[in-house]
Amino acid sequence: MASAVRVRFAPSPTGLLHIGNAQTALFNSLFARHHRGTVILRIEDTDLERSTEEFLGRILEDLQWLGIHWQEGPDKNGAEGPYRQSQRLPLYRDHAERLLNGARAYKCFCSPERLESLRQHQLSKGMMPRYDGKCRSLSEKDILSMESEGHRPVIRFRVGGGSILFDDLIHGKMKFASEGIGDFIMVRSDGMPAYNFACVIDDHSMHVSHVIRGEDHLSNTPRQIMVYQTLGWEPPAFAHHPLILGPDRSPLSKRHGATAVSQYREDGFLPEALLNYLVLLGWTSPSGEEVLPLEKIAEEFSLSVLSRSAPIHSLKKLEWLNSFYIRNKDDRELSELLLPYLEKEGLSVDRVDRSYLIQVAAAVKDNLGILSHVKGYLGIFFDEKFFFDEEARAILLDSTHRETLGSVLGALEGFPSIDQEGWPSLVAEMEKKTGRKGKKLYAPLRAGITGRTKGPELIKTFPLLGKERILKRLRMALEIT
């Protein structure tokens, strides 16, 4: 592999960053890191109506949160800038003029209505929709007449004959017949370059060596190769990875749940877990391990072993990975990550002792699939959120369980202190006083102390609550009617 590996990720700021696009960014980043190359962030913002600074800011924020970095881009100095297509329009105009003057492009005045009618006619005949070349042979006089009447043309690339061949680094040898493509638009009537023209100019001028993108762009590649060849440029290497599908094997969309990186972030997924998950959707480590740090993934990463089969999104797998990373977080760091979710539930965390929050984080970390799940356990540790849920109340209304809790209350009143070191002695005392063990003891005990039927281990919960709060809750439990 040549040392000058240069890749690009080129989002359009017309919406939030989709996890499919994040996977593309990740593959580019890993490939560049593996080969000590350069990542370029280019903003494709020629859709002026839909592109916004807000979406651009959100995209940059999500990429940075994920830990995907770039060496050249709109927020960094780089020799090949500017890195926003809206700031590169003179460059596109120059090359469009070059192709017009060389008769490899022409002006087309066909109306949207005519083009749609043509498309419907071709579909009704079982034909692949393509432009029929009506404006290919317009004379200079015809063109001047149309323009003087105020008609604004598009500029179309004049497609030649033969086949377009290229080697895809994932799919292998590819062949497209030019007859099925039709003369495509290079520049729209508003003067903005179309995708298949602009990205060729940009990739060449930015010295991109490898174009790594989703396979939805596979059909664009022959068009782009024709532009490269016409301009006398060497195309980059291409790699088109499969797109992520929903569980029903249809393209991943909002009906399958969250698709935006920002939504996973808001729900409480960790960036390292989401990155780990996205790379596993298409790549397998030679070691067979699934939980890998980004440095190790970059060391082992190769485009040649990316799967050709479309991966299926599994929220269950993502939550499993996320729970692993949560369990392995430092308790102090985890407590900081939980703060926004505690505040969202109305807790005044600025009044809570930070050392207590660290202990709460340590107690619940084994129970969290995502950070926002902490809201289900707040009632255990914070009195203002404490209540007995319906399942707990059902247990506490049972006369046998009430008898057990009455005996537990007596045992705890005479017990000196409650901490993890004394837990075995406390359990032995409760078993002795109640005559019960296992579920017959722990089910009513958990319901009475925490107000829930599920939660962190009681050995972690008891010391955090302390003797007085536990006694108070047991008395409350025995008063339920």
DSSP-derived pairing of the beta strands 237-241 and 210-214: parallel
| Contact (CB, 8 A) for 175 and 164 | yes
What is the Cα–Cα distance from 265 to 268, expressed in whole angstroms? 5
| Contact (CB, 8 A) for 326 and 371 | yes
Output the CA–CA distances (angstroms, integers) from residue 28 to 35, 243, 298, in the order listed.
11, 15, 10
Closest CA to 66 of 294, 292, 239: 294
- The catalytic residues are 254
- Strand stretches in 150-217, DSSP E: 154-157, 163-168, 172-177, 185-187, 210-214
| H-assigned helices in 132-239 | 140-148, 195-205, 221-231
Does the bond joining 74 to the residue before it have cis omega, within 30 degrees of 0?
no
What is the Cα–Cα distance from 405 to 61, expressed in whole angstroms? 52
What is the Cα–Cα distance from 183 to 186, expressed in whole angstroms? 9
Single-letter residue type at 435: G
Phi-psi group of 126: left, alpha or beta (phi > 0 → left; psi -120 to 50 → alpha; rest → beta): left
Single-letter residue type at 78: G
Give the number of other CB atoms < 10 A from CB of residue 89: 15
